[in-house]
Amino acid sequence: MTTTDKQLPANIMLEKWADIGFFWQGALTIAELPRLAEQAEIDGVLAASVALAKTDGIIWLNYQLSGTLLLQCQRCLEPLSLQTQEQYRLAVLADEAQTALIDDADYLLLDELGAGNVHKLPIKQLMEDELLLGLPLSPRHDDCQMLINDDDTQEQEPEDNPFAILAGLKGKLS
Ligand SMILES: [Zn+2]
């Protein structure tokens, strides 16, 4: 099954989809990623595609995320954009013994995803975890304009006047 226009479900029900395969392509909104929303915004759309399929008895989840996140520069407090374009791969294993079959791929155990006949892969949560891991601890512009200012000498001059800024610099150097 392929869906392109519906929202990505929070969970992929493995009993329903593992054998026939689950595919989804679309856009995620910041409202669907509440933990990320505490630290970032999405500039435009965050494009995502998800493919879950069983190969040789192992369930593989492949997904991609691409878009631009907006963070706040910790120095000047202005927006800082962060491109993200990542591919992720994760196996769902029936038991630890199957790790021998997946090289060093990341994995989850089926037992961690539920019990009985109900196993849910929390796809949105996984995506959000990866996005959060990719955020810098202390985001700063590489060429942050605030770098030239000491904390105790906040700009007195209008910022859009290059001569005033130059004069300020000369004052500090002498
Ligand atoms: Zn900055």
Q: Are residues 132 and 155 in the same domain?
A: no
Amino acid, res. 158: P
Q: What is the pLDDT of residue 148?
A: 59
SS3 67: strand
Distance 38 CA to ligand 1 centre (A): 19
Half-sphere exposure of 81 (CA within 13 A, CB side): 6
> Domain total for the chain?
2
Q: Are residues 148 and 138 in the same domain?
A: no
Strands 106-109 and 79-93: parallel
Distance 131 CA to ligand 1 centre (A): 21
Return the bridge partners of 63, or none.
50, 88
Range of the domain at 81: 2-142
Distance 47 CA to ligand 1 centre (A): 26
Q: What average pLDDT values come out for the chain (174 residues) when binned by 10 residues? A: 71 96 96 96 95 95 98 95 96 95 96 95 97 95 75 51 60 55
Q: Are residues 158 and 94 in the same domain?
A: no
Q: Are residues 48 and 63 in the same domain?
A: yes
Q: What is the pLDDT of residue 104?
A: 94
Distance 54 CA to ligand 1 centre (A): 46
Q: Are residues 132 and 160 in the same domain?
A: no
